[in-house]
Structure 1
Amino acid sequence: MIEEIVKLRRKGLSFRKIAARLNTTVGKVQYQWKKYMKKKSEPLRHDTGSRINKKEEKPLSIANKYKHVHQEDHLCIWLISPNKLYSFWRLSEEQKKLISHYYQRPFADFQLVLRLYDVTCILFNGSNAHDVFEIFLPDNKKSWFIKGLKPNRCYCAELGIKLSDHHFLPLLRSNAIHVPRSDVEQAGELAKELEWFQSSRRNAPKWVEHVSTYSFYETKEGMVD
């Protein structure tokens, strides 16, 4: 049953429509979906380090201390080690109601997704990242750890919803972070970009994050689904 539910959810069907299609109740569909999402999130929690130990409490305490600064909707990513970042966000009920009203579906029916983009040396427009790592978030999650970052690379993230297998709607975009080098041989990799900027100051350097107007776009080949 869960295979059919997952297949229909990826097509954008609501729990009510799935229940009607499978000739069952909405409650049974929601139960199976939540059970599936819980099971699916367990390896991600282990891989991305979302199980917080005492050494990882500092980012959370800092975020809580300064949470009054970020009363508006936001998505932030902080580098907490050479290969790990901490992300946290706020998505207001007003924005959720707006999405729900537009698509005529309860916001809880949508799958919330966190995307991490490798935007090294590009003017990021939402769909031209070198690589994309996608995390399907459990219900009511407001923060996440991600590890396995590559050295000397620039990353930013987006929080959004999945409308289908190849359709992602971004709602929030984060700041950009740059992972430090791990080897002396990596020094000078951005020298050509810096030289280009110094000789032509009319444009921004390619390695500076560029935030464009949010737009709906489709997943391209090479992106992680």
Structure 2
Amino acid sequence: MRYLIAATVLCAGAVVAADFWKSKQPAEWTEPEATKILEESPWVKSTTPFMDPKVARSSRSAGMGSRGGSGNMSGVGPMGTNAGGAGGTPLRLPPVRVSFETSAAVSDAKLRLKLQDLYQEQRAENVVVSVLGMPMAGDVGRGQKMPDAERRKEMQEDLQERLTQMTTLKLSNDRVFQPAEVRLQKTVNGQVVLFVFRREELNLHPDDKQIVFKTLMGPLEVDVKFNLKEMVYQGKLSL
């Protein structure tokens, strides 16, 4: 019986910990709490990309580059995993992390952990959504020659253009927004894709209920739902 009571107390504690940002000031957060904001919270979600094996095979056959070259997906998936999907079986891909970098909650978590924050200067004008862990078309596969600098620049520009066109934030009332620009940034944790949305165009409110971030990278699709009411921080919707 005492074990049952102890388990109940622990569960109750976990529920309180899940919303610690509502009852504690950022200076009072523990390091694990601040880390939680940055890893799995209303502003940060991890998800596994979806890849249709048939689409993957079609993409490899057609080539991913739209400027006369094959910007390689070449059967090489995330982290060098095989994207073949033998027999049409579902592909097991590493998760990616989608973060609202310009959220004040994310900023306070980085400050608590003494991490550099590169995005807060943009908060007044932009909402920046990052995707960490997404394999890039144009990545060099095993046994392939590295393109020269000019070709790499073309491939990056082509990728940014495609991502701008194939990425949306969608509200539950079917309002859809596309990023004004896409940036690629290398970090110690890997390459990050930054999707920049103009804040004045979004004009969101917690009563909008839900927003869905979706992007397509060749055969890969990332689709993540965010609850806007849960994204309220210090009395304001924090994006």
TM-score with structure 2 setting the length: 0.29
